A and B are shown apart, each in its own frame.
Chain A
Amino acid sequence: MPASDADQPLLQVRGLHVDFTSGGRAVHAVRGADLTVYPGQTVAIVGESGSGKSTTAQAVIGLLPGNGRVVGGQVLFDGRDIAHASRREFVELRGKHIGLVPQDPMSNLNPVWTIGFQVREALAANGLAKGRAAKQRAAQLLAEAGLPDADRRAKQYPHEFSGGMRQRALIAIGLASRPRLLIADEPTSALDVTVQRQILDHLDGLTRELGTAVLLITHDLGLAAERAEHLVVMYKGQVVESGPALQILQDPQHPYTQRLVRAAPSLASQRLRSSSQREQVAAAAAEHAGLAHAAAVAGSDVGVEQTANVIEVEDLTKVFTIRGSGPRGEKLRAVDGVSFAVRRGTTTAVVGESGSGKSTVAQMVLNLLPATSGTVRFDGVDITTLDARRRFDFRRRVQPIFQNPYGSLDPSFSIYRTIEEPLRVHGIGDAKSREARVRDLLDKVALPAGTIRRYPNELSGGQRQRVAIARALALNPEVVVCDEAVSALDVLVQGQILTLLNDLQAELGLTYLFITHDLAVVRQIADDVVVMQKGRLVEAATTDEVFRSPRQEYTRALLEAIPGGNIELGV
């Protein structure tokens, strides 16, 4: 292959069409995509799930699934069309000239081989090094990818690595034979934000040093804008807008891009409501709880502060016994002496990375998991001491919304039965009034009445999440615990659901306990923030305080890790 100079495009995709055949029908996954990558440049393809961004990348590296086919257009790599290259040609290209960092670090390393072996395999496959030399080179590559103590680490197995370390190993493999183009398909979306930042920084430095061009596939506009100089925005298989990153972000032209920029949580900086709404919420909440005196003073902001705390968590601790049982078992303090309070009619976010104990807190507040010690008071009553009947009443007043829209609805229940079930369980109304209530709830969550006879498998993730919200609201609860309720959704849908939750809060005077790993979402929805790290509470303050002047090192690290957080926007 000829050595190319920096002014010749390394990769040119021209009018690419990719079809998938499923069930005898052809689905046009990519329709006329164009993009250009110059040597040493970072280009990002941004889009939601189903936009064709990953399919485009797969076509470039010849890894389309069996039912996918390039039906038109060109993929020019170094001037040579590889759109229809043979399997042998691709084997020659892959690794040596085009490297890949896959998405999921958990499933992309073979669990039965050591990390070092898998790096050596990449070296051997491209005929770069063998035997002792390969061993040395593998350790070098791992060290270069930012793994400390690489010699020893190379002898370990994937399960001994954290997600971030595995991703570093995958980067080492992707860069093993110094490819000129590295395709990184959502390389960090499975990782915590602080780890994500470290890895991307490292990848940035490494590829710049080696002069490797990077094709970054991501759903996160903020991340793309921060890491790439050129953006390609895809929507339903087509490129809707492309150009210099900053220009696209500050002056988006296509309506879809505008929508995306507005919705990107990492770029938004506003709580989703005005102060007048805030007073309405406080009044509605007070009314809802039957607190007449609070309603009288709700006209002022001071009144809001004086409204009783609906949930008070005090010195909450949960110890799990892992590995073995009895006194000899290994103990894990998942939640360690956490105390905070949730004001009525407001949203309190519990933020933390995986393993911080935030979901365990939610489970205990929902009274689904007994606390090891400490108390959770709901409306002044300790919920751990409730008898069966009063616990049943408590269930009516506190309802959850979960993360996974595909797992939170019973697939054998129609939407009607799903939303009606809480009413039936609590013996509310007759069949007729329940149906009216279900219709009313569907309307509240902005789903058409036609949804009522459908089943969950017919709905999209966002629609399912709306149904889950309707089910949670059926009993007129006072508190809704949202456990990562929007984390699994595409950014536009996520924005819609957050707006819906916010509107419902204003309308019904709801109190939210919002569990999330995403500080960007916190800024849009929360009034108060509780930051957790390794089971402990590190900071608790109002959202404004936390974002303006975080007091703890850890909170600062979390804030800085929000991708694209410091890019000025034009909209």
Chain B
Amino acid sequence: MPDRPTAAVRPGQEHHVAPLEETPLAAVDAVDEQAPPTSLWADAWRRLRRRPLFLVSSLIILLLLVVSLFPSLFTSVDPRFADLTRSLQGPAEGHPLGFTQQGTDVYSRLVHGARASVSVGVIATALVVVIGGVVGALAGFFGGWLDAVLSRFADIFFAVPLLLGGIILMQMLDTRNSFTVALTLAVFGWPQVARIMRGSVLQVRSNEYVTAATSLGLGKLKVLLRHVVPNALGPVIVVATISLGTFIAAEATLSFLNIGLPPSTVSWGGDISRAQTTLRTDPWVLLWPSIGLSVTVLSFLMLGDALRDALDPKGRTR
């Protein structure tokens, strides 16, 4: 011990012992057996369901899904039936939002247009998650030359802007439907998911439970599938939700440019494009599909934000 002067005890520093009644001892490290068990996903769900951002966006998305699956529940008017005598007429009975220049019902086209947007968004996102997820997981987990090859390959596609790539590729395609549009968007969209997955896998891979699984005798691929991928999915889910919104916007852009879905398919992008000509005189024809598109894209972005808050491992420690 250093030679500190052992001065007499000074006021305020006398030996003080708190009475035991006021400071009860807890058992060291006892388990709370009363609390209900919660998995990570249950925990995230509990966090989510109280967030207004999540509630609002998921309600809109739910409504959107119902509309695109069963449009006939909301309107019985044929969106393709054109009555030129009613061109650009205002709201009438059974036609609450009026008519387009072609004399088709705006409300019916709004309802039926949801399916095109949603299906393109969902298919493109599914493709992107599968391709990007597999490539990213392999690159991140195995590293080395495989990582180098896969990452550079992804960079080639990453370098092409989504829309520019979409325009070029769509012009070369003969068949244009929801699936080909989704495929085109996926071809240029997967590198983003691959990057996120790779980073997430790299982070999870360094955890000790991965080493523990290896020293149990588990093969590399099994370690990847059982322990790494489930824990690396969080950020991918967030990005996938947000990119679903951007894919819907991209589809509308392509359709607007008349190289997305064919005019025979009812879609918001196509309707916006055709309503341009009458924008000055009859803006509502353009307004309704635009609102549909904005609300849809916005709600996916909001859902992505809410999911990020719930799934972010940093947020969980709070």
Contact = CB atoms under 8 A, between A and B. Distances in A.
B215 A395 contact: yes
A127 interface: no
Interface residues of B, number: 48
A409 B207 CA distance: 9
A230 B2 CA distance: 14
A240 interface: yes
A451 interface: yes
A387 interface: no
In the A-B complex, list the 4 residue pairs whose CB atoms are closest, starting with the nearest: A243-B15, A36-B12, A395-B217, A402-B208
Given A396-B217, A471-B212, A255 B39 contact: no
B215 A366 contact: yes
B142 to A, nearest CB: 16
A412 interface: yes
A395 B216 contact: yes
A299 interface: no
Interface string B206-219: 01110111111110
Interface string B1-42: 110101101111111111010110110110111010111110
Contacts of A204: 2
A392 B217 contact: yes
Contact of A243 (B16, B25, B32, B37): B16
A566 interface: yes
Nearest to A205: B2
B40 A412 contact: yes
Contacts of A566: 1
B33 A450 contact: yes
Given A36-B12, A255-B25, A412-B230, A459 B208 contact: no
Interface string A547-571: 0000000000000000000110000
Nearest to B10: A38
B23 A240 contact: yes
Contact of B15 (A34, A238, A248): A248
Nearest to B5: A229
B230 A236 contact: no
A407 B209 contact: yes
Contacts of A404: 208
Interface in A195-247: 201, 204, 226-227, 229-230, 235-236, 238-244, 247
A102 interface: no
A1 interface: no
B211 A402 contact: yes
A239 B18 contact: yes
Given A7-B10, A242-B15, A448-B31, A457 B25 contact: no
Contacts of B217: 391-392, 395-396, 425-426
A376 B20 CA distance: 54
A417 to B, nearest CB: 10
A236 B26 contact: yes
Interface in A446-478: 447-448, 450-451, 453-455, 457-460, 462-463, 468, 471, 475
B297 to A, nearest CB: 31
Contact of B231 (A9, A399, A412): A412
B85 to A, nearest CB: 61
B318 A22 contact: yes
Contacts of B15: 241-244, 247-248, 253
A360 interface: no
Contacts of B10: 7, 9, 36, 38
A395 B16 CA distance: 54
B12 A9 contact: yes
A224 B205 CA distance: 38
A238 B16 CA distance: 13
14 contacts: A36-B12, A36-B13, A230-B13, A240-B18, A241-B16, A254-B18, A368-B211, A400-B215, A404-B208, A409-B209, A425-B218, A457-B40, A458-B32, A463-B29
A414 interface: yes
B209 A238 contact: no
Given A229-B6, A455-B37, A492-B28, 15 more contacts: A22-B318, A36-B10, A38-B10, A229-B4, A238-B22, A253-B17, A256-B25, A411-B40, A412-B41, A414-B37, A450-B33, A462-B29, A492-B29, A493-B29, A496-B28
Interface in B28-78: 28-29, 31-33, 35, 37-41, 43
B18 A241 contact: yes
B218 A255 contact: no
Contacts of A496: 28-29
A253 B227 CA distance: 48
Contacts of B17: 240-241, 253-254
Nearest to B29: A462
A460 B29 contact: yes
A459 B14 CA distance: 39
Contacts of B213: 410, 421
A246 B85 CA distance: 101
A195 B264 CA distance: 77
B316 interface: yes
A359 to B, nearest CB: 11
A566 B37 CA distance: 46
A284 to B, nearest CB: 24
B37 to A, nearest CB: 5
A258 to B, nearest CB: 10
Contacts of A374: none
A366 B39 CA distance: 31
B216 A421 contact: yes
Contacts of B215: 366-368, 395, 398-400
A204 B1 CA distance: 11
Contacts of A7: 10
A464 B43 CA distance: 18
Nearest to B24: A236
A425 B303 CA distance: 38
A419 to B, nearest CB: 11
A356 to B, nearest CB: 20
B312 to A, nearest CB: 13
Contacts of A136: none
A411 B231 contact: yes
A422 interface: yes
